[in-house]
Structure 1
């Protein structure tokens, strides 16, 4: 398995993954045009975030995005893992573990990055089990949000 930074050529697959993920996990049908523009914005501007993909036999089978949060408590950056998706045919084969380990290795190697966070839908118990197995915990924070819908 190869873990690499996503490239422009990966955009159609990344969009397909996110459309599927939103439907599967939250029963949401995203607007493909808005999603494509949002993902393109990240691929075009590293200050917004970064996508990573997992490839097996030349096929992209999983992806995630990281975004950044400044932590005044830690005087450093915290990376947020978002938009996680693994193709159904490749689940249970270590794809997310490989992506997570790659991100964790990048964080360990950079003294300015203090840690990793993610949020997960409360009903997505299979994802929560994977995160716990990899040593993450959900003991400290609950996430609250207000989103403007257009």
Structure 2
């Protein structure tokens, strides 16, 4: 399940999001000047619900800070911001073999849904 990211593409993507807030935003947790956790929020318009849904993506907490409520604090801040903007729903996808992440998401009240994600990769 370990994935390798292309650092150049990832850095360009981060800059793109920061420079285009209509696409989403990042939340981070710092300790002593070091980023120890992050998540990204992106937006989906739902014609079924006539509302915007926030997608939680790019969740990462440094291994030495896991199980210390870093993700929980990011999630709580996300909920606070969502409520301020009248957002009614979060979604997130997680690899089905990432049992630790699934357990974490369930422990904060998120529920599994029946959706299956399909994709077709057109290359870069």
Same fold (TM over 0.5): yes
TM-score tier (shorter):
over 0.9
Asked if 1:59 corresponds to 2:34, the answer is yes
Alignment pair present for 1:143 and 2:108: no
Unmatched 5+ stretches in structure 2: none
- Alpha-carbon offset, residue 141 of structure 1: 1.6
Shift of 1:66: 0.7
C-alpha deviation, 1:81, in angstroms: 0.4
CA distances 1:107-132 after superposition (whole Å, capped 9, x unpaired):
12222x22100000011000000000
2:90 is matched with 116
Corresponding residue for 1:21?
Answer: none
Asked whether the equivalents of residues 49 and 68 of structure 1 are also in contact (C-alpha less than 8 Å), the reply is yes
After superposition, residues 11-90 of structure 1 pair within 5 angstroms as 26-90=1-65
- The SS at the match of 1:82 is strand
Distance (Å, rounded) in 2 between the aligned partners of 1:132 and 1:29: 26
* 1:72 CA drift (Å): 1.4
Unaligned 5+ residue runs, structure 1?
Answer: 1-25
RMSD: 1.3
TM norm structure 2: 0.92
Structure 2 CA distance, aligned partners of 1:39 and 1:107?
A: 21
Q: With the length of structure 1 as denominator, give the TM-score of the two structures.
A: 0.77
Spell out structure 1 runs of 4+ moving beyond 3 A: none
Contact 1:74 1:114 in 2 (8 A): no
Bigger CA drift: 133-142 or 62-71? Answer: 133-142
Structure with a larger share of its residues in helix: 1
